[in-house]
Amino acid sequence: MDRETVERVARTAHIKLTEEEIQRYGDDLTEILTYFELLDEAPESDERGINPVEIADVLRDDEPRMDIDSDVLLRGMDTYEGYVRGPRLS
Amino acid sequence: MSMKSTLENLESVNSKYFMFHAKTSDTDPGDAKFLFSAKDNLTSKDMETCAGSRILEGYFPAFDATAIAKMREAGGKLIGKTNMDEFGFGTFSTNSGFEVPRNPYDLERACGGSSGGSACAAAVFEDHVSLGVSTGGSICCPASFCGVYGIAPTYGRVSRYGLIDYGNSLDKIGVLSARAGDLRKYINVIAGRDERDPTSCVQPELRNEGRRMRSVAVPREGVEGLSKDVESAFNAALDELRRMGIEVEMVDMPSLKYAMPAYYVLATSEASTNLARYVGMRYGHQDGDYSLKFDDFFSDVRSRYFGDEAKRRILLGTFTRMAGYSDRYYSKARQVRQVVIQDYKRVLKDHDAVLAPTMPFTAPRFDDISKMSALDNYKADYLTVPANIAGTPHMSVPCGYGSDGMPIGMQFVADHWDEDVLFTMAEEWDKEFEIRKPEVSA
């Protein structure tokens, strides 16, 4: 995988790479993707399910409930006035 | 060893084998009926839960995973959360942000992965059951390397509520133990429908009829590339099965060779989206630089705390889902999964299980693992990924020991929802095969 692609993928995935990592992951991914070319010759299927077994939609009544107290959920979080703290958007 | 003495010795045993990331400090079992441990990607409200990742350091969940809650309801006492590869990304439990579990038969060797700490605990502690999780072989591989029984039930049999996802369409919670009877006993405890995980809600009832295995199919593709020790132990096990009255037939399963690349495409694609939630907010480390814009804030935290293999799999999974590449990789891998399922269904029409060695070699030494490339690591999973991609129940049972004294396992794969035939096989095999317990000292 060329340097430009590695950098593009890393940017999309929110991973900062060092020079050494760009080179190393590029080499690793090239080797791995070359092996994955085996998929090109694999038989195709009309079935393309996401899950290996049949899955049904499960719905429940839309009734509000409190499984876990919000104070308990917020206990391990960095908060500000009861809100989860996050970075600025711009 | 009594439950009390197990608890009293927990610290010293762990300092030798490093099976636990977090553990109880209780020395009194109270009214517990049994002790159990659980892989550290299952949430537990009384112990830190990190899934082997430093990015989750300091995370104390507000709730128990359904499987852990059910074990507690059955009278179990959780004694520890077991070390593992970061988020399940590995074959040897060496890709951990924390301690690496040591093989009880040789401390210089790996336990296998990614439920390595669970297999270690099952082998070391008497009367112990551990919950593991398999995405591509993470229960059977360490069970094989540590000489214990391990079962990953059908995808959807056990609720994944409270499981820190690796690949949603692949993850399965199962059981590891040195006692064959524990597989049936504890899968019965943790199985069942749970409205918090819709994938658990279509399952038929778990049968406990003691259905005997009458014939097994051994795929030619599953006996290629084996070490001499594994080949020899497996052939001896086949002879034993024949002696037990089980028919053994060699078959062709041409789809199996495509399972490994398809698995790594699906697993890393799903992982790369699942791990997008770890950005230095809400869980674990929250020490990001608030002066940075959000893109840089997220990238900074993720780059500091994700380990090497996690980054590699995130990059791989992000690439295989990208516009221009997803048809070739992700879409094709989904088709291959269906082809593999059809291949299993075809063979299982005439046989009760598909059988092959669990791993192609015995537990490797840490210094040999460090010389393996990423692709070498992935290729080591070629025997365990097909059943995982198919979502079929599979079980590793100890079947011999190598010239190096290390345990060897064989893996039975049954049809969807047919765990009963695997439980019964384990119980019958246990009467014929004697496990050589490791010499355990604290």
Task: Report the C-alpha gap between B388 and B397 in whole angstroms.
Answer: 17
Task: Report the C-alpha gap between B401 and B234 in whole angstroms.
Answer: 10
Which CATH architecture fits A3-41? Orthogonal Bundle (1.10)
Asked if the model's pLDDT at residue A54 lies above 90, the reply is no
pLDDT at residue B119 in the model: 98
Average pLDDT over residues B160-169: 97
What does each C-alpha distance from B110 to B141, B210, B365 come to in angstroms?
11, 34, 6
Find all residues with CB under 8 Å of B93, minimum gap 6, and list them: B83, B84, B85, B100, B101, B110, B111, B112, B113, B114, B115, B116, B117, B142
Asked if the model's pLDDT at residue A67 lies above 90, the reply is no
What is this structure's pTM? 0.97
User: Phi/psi of residue B399, each to 5°?
Assistant: -135, 5
Task: Report the C-alpha gap between B306 and B275 in whole angstroms.
Answer: 10
| Domain map (residue ranges) of chain A | 3-41
Task: Report the C-alpha gap between B46 and B61 in whole angstroms.
Answer: 8
Domains of chain B listed by start with CATH number = 3-253+354-432 (3.90.1300.10), 257-333 (no CATH)
The strand pairing partners of B249, in sequence order, are B217
Residues of chain A with Cβ-Cβ distance to B375 below 8 Å are 28, 31-32, 35
pLDDT-based confidence at residue A26 (cuts at 50, 70, 90): very high
- CB–CB of A42 and B302 under 8 A? no
pLDDT tens for each residue of B113-125: 999 999 999 999 9
pLDDT-based confidence at residue A89 (cuts at 50, 70, 90): confident
Q: A22 touching B, CB under 8 A?
A: no
pLDDT tens for each residue of B245-301: 999 999 999 999 999 999 999 999 999 999 999 999 998 999 999 999 999 999 999
Closest in A16, A52, A55 to B299, CB measured = A16
pLDDT tens for each residue of B45-89: 999 999 999 999 999 999 999 999 999 999 999 999 999 999 999
Task: Report the C-alpha gap between B250 and B166 in whole angstroms.
Answer: 34
pLDDT tens for each residue of B285-339: 999 999 999 999 999 999 999 999 999 999 999 999 998 999 999 999 999 999 9
Mean pLDDT over all residues of chain B? 97
Residues 172-201 of B with CB under 8 A from A: 195, 198-199, 201
Residues of chain A with Cβ-Cβ distance to B374 below 8 Å are 28, 31-32
